[in-house]
Amino acid sequence: MMSEMREAGLTSKSWPFEEARRVLKRYQNAPPAKGHVLFETGYGPSGLPHIGTFGEVARTSMVMRAFREISDIPCKLICFSDDLDGMRKVPQNVPNQKMLEENLQRPLTSVPDPFEKYESFGQHNNELLKKFLNTFDFQYDFISATEFYRSGKFDKILIKAVENYDEIMSVMLKSLRDERRETYSIFLPIHPETGRVLYVPMKEVNSDNSTVTFADENGKDWTLPVTGGNVKLQWKPDFGARWAALGIDFEMYGKDHSTNTPIYDKICRILGHRPPEHFTYELFLDENGQKISKTSGNGVSIEDWLKYASSESLSYFMYQKPKTAKRLHFDIIPKMVDEYHQQLRAYSNQDFSGKLNNPVWHIHGNSVPKSHMAIPFSMLLNLASVAGAEEKETLWGFIKRYQSEATPETHPDLDQAVGFAVAFYNDFVKPNKIYRKASEVEREAILDLREKLANYNGDLDAESLQSVVFSCGRERFDPLRKWFQALYEILLGASQGPRFGGFIALYGIEETIALIDSALEGKFLK
């Protein structure tokens, strides 16, 4: 009998299940001959791995998780590194620029490592990628293009590409400008002497012995076999040929690839295989609305995010609306942390359909943890800001008063968040705090709040104190959010913040009164 969870998965509106059902449909008549369904994610190791790379693997893993829920067919994830590509430009954010300059156009696995840790720059970036992926406990098989070409695993498809050279060239030439057509070939020979990847026209493509003949930049003719890593494919034909060689069933990539999808598909078919299902996602933007790129090193790195928040919050961000271009900057981190924990708290009370539409299921599968975040991350940040918290212990002093039963041992995710809040405060909040002077109406309302707090003898809970805060602003501000904005800007030096009643409960009434006095005396103004 079909489980209720599987049944819910077969109708779920969440995007990973929609994609998983498309993959399953491929095998509605018969299971795959290779014995498993193959998901792929590709990686160009031309610069240091960035968060977009992680996003691709995270999202592909989410589709795989959904697939496993609705099907018993085994599935695997391949992470394929294009490390045989020639290094076309020098990344700006790495050392030894001159050395890299001297190695332009050589395969990335033939370029010395500028960090001097590994045999090559390609290997260095591959190891970084694997390290990051392992941090997130992804299950994958890693394939290096260099090894794939040189070991002969690609030979069968490369020979087929020679046999179908004219047909593949016809597909490619239609997509190129006139001047590019003159010199274009699907094959890029690797020069036997200089080791550089050459972008040169072919003089001859011989299907009898699977060789190509070309002239190098000095006019010298060479004939090389297409097998054994002597020649690689241009990146668009490589895409389609790789699908054919490996039997890929699903691959997602950025929107910048989407116009090439028909080309990849045609080449895959010419080489005798059915193209995979594909999914294009929108690209991330930096704080200025520019596309994040590996070579420019803009945006947030994986290490950056993990300095200020948990890996689960990053996975949560990746789940959200993959087809919408999203700004990826540091100021979104607190929001993602708090939303992730909100979803964790909601999960246990949801039915099967609700659970499968909840992002946390797509992060954790059927092992969704409980949240121990008794205090929102945004609140911890405000507390860190007001208390000038340089150490975790400072924040725990306040937390204990608010949640006496909480300890770092019983609330490990809260303890972790406290550490993140201190780091985030020191790096982002402290340098950017801007206080302003209160207007007359604002001053009057804040003094009213001070008086009510001084005479307050109700419960020290967030809701009761929130009612007190409301009462001071209700008659004076329209809309009411202007009142809360004033509190954040005048007392906390921030443009937004948590529910203020919760902040008072956590920070303390006496402490809040002292904060009000300091702010109204102008002590925070520069």
Classify strands 75-81 and 141-144 as parallel, antiparallel or unpaired: parallel
CA distance from start to end of the chain: 70
Classify strands 250-254 and 277-281 as parallel, antiparallel or unpaired: parallel
Give pTM, 2 decimals.
Answer: 0.88
CATH class of 440-520: mainly alpha
pLDDT at 295: 52
CA distance 374 to 412: 11
Let me know the angle formed at the C-alpha of 215 by 167 and 103, rounded to the nearest 5 degrees: 100
For the domain 4-284, what is the CATH superfamily, name and number? HUPs (3.40.50.620)
pLDDT at 296: 58
pLDDT at 516: 95
Query: Over the chain, what is the mean pLDDT?
Result: 92
| Segment 35-89, tens digit of pLDDT | 999 999 998 887 666 788 888 999 999 999 999 999 999 999 999 999 999 999 9
pLDDT at 47: 63
pLDDT at 87: 94
CA distance 111 to 90: 11
Averaged pLDDT for residues 247-255: 95
Q: Tell me if residue 186 falls in helix, strand or coil.
A: coil
Averaged pLDDT for residues 493-515: 89
Written as six digits, the tokens of 199 are: 């972008």
Query: Amino acid identity, residue 128?
Result: L
Q: In 10 A of CB 27, how many CB atoms?
A: 14
Side-chain half-sphere exposure of 345, counting CA atoms within 13 A: 11
* Per-residue pLDDT at 257 exceeds 90: no
The alpha carbon of 320 is separated from its chain's Cα centroid by a whole number of angstroms, namely 11
Q: What is the dihedral of CA 507, 513, 514, 518, to 10 degrees?
A: 120
* Per-residue pLDDT at 300 exceeds 80: no
Per-domain residue ranges for the chain? 4-284, 377-432, 440-520
13-22, 219-228, 289-298: the lowest-pLDDT one: 289-298
Q: Tell me if residue 82 falls in helix, strand or coil.
A: coil
CA distance 129 to 124: 9
Q: Percent of the chain beyond pLDDT 70? A: 98
